[in-house]
Chains A and B, each alone.
Chain A
Amino acid sequence: QKEVEQNSGPLSVPEGAIASLNCTYSDRGSQSFFWYRQYSGKSPELIMSIYSNGDKEDGRFTAQLNKASQYVSLLIRDSQPSDSATYLCAVKTNAGKSTFGDGTTLTVKP
């Protein structure tokens, strides 16, 4: 079992729809959770971080964390073609080590 698993995708949604990206992790000692966006050929850029159970909203993005279920998700509302990218989930333990999922590729069709 991988330490961090993401939907393999690709995920395709129409413009204006909600895109839902999911991530599960195996280490119950994980403390911090991050979502990065990576455009093709570019380096990852941080979208959101979440540390406590519940929802965290930032503009069109909402991160959801459920530590009991070892599950973290990212919702993108009103998806735009510019949101088309690979989204990486990263999980960090108390020791500060980050583990990344393989990413989910999102395509938003105009």
Chain B
Amino acid sequence: SQTIHQWPATLVQPVGSPLSLECTVEGTSNPNLYWYRQAAGRGLQLLFYSVGIGQISSEVPQNLSASRPQDRQFILSSKKLLLSDSGFYLCAWTRDGTSTDTQYFGPGTRLTVL
């Protein structure tokens, strides 16, 4: 079966500090990978998605970036965090990204920027 991991689970960072969140998927190969952010009481905002190693599409221009150095690893980064970067960050995967393909979510990282 497939498993998706995220770490860290919780993070408190000062404004202006760097960020690195990691997501890995087990039990599948060449998944489509996604980063979402969820603000308090809101839905999911798609930040980045990747269909393969080194292939990143950005949905919202901001101070975040993503990388996919390995097939089942997806990293979300920032050089300088803003207060508005606080939120619940979710990594998700799908098999092939077709319209009927289901997204499965990792456990998430709760980020608080102070």
Contact B90 A94 (CB under 8 A): no
Contact A43 B108 (CB under 8 A): yes
Residues of chain A from 39 to 62 with CB closer than 8 A to chain B in the complex: 41-46, 49, 51
Instruction: State the Cβ distance, B34 to closest chain A Cβ, in Å.
Output: 8
> How many B residues touch the partner, as a band?
20 to 34
Contact A101 B43 (CB under 8 A): yes
Q: Nearest chain-A residue to B44 (Cβ)? A: A100
Instruction: State the Cβ distance, B92 to closest chain A Cβ, in Å.
Output: 9
- Bound-complex Cα distance A88 to B108 (A): 16
Contact B102 A43 (CB under 8 A): no
> How many A residues touch the partner, as a band?
20 to 34
- A–B complex contacts, Cβ < 8 Å, 20 sampled: A31-B100, A32-B99, A42-B108, A43-B105, A43-B108, A44-B44, A49-B100, A49-B102, A88-B44, A95-B99, A96-B32, A96-B94, A96-B101, A97-B46, A98-B46, A98-B103, A100-B43, A101-B43, A103-B41, A103-B42
Residues of B within 8 A of A (CB): 32, 41-44, 46, 90, 94, 97-108, 110
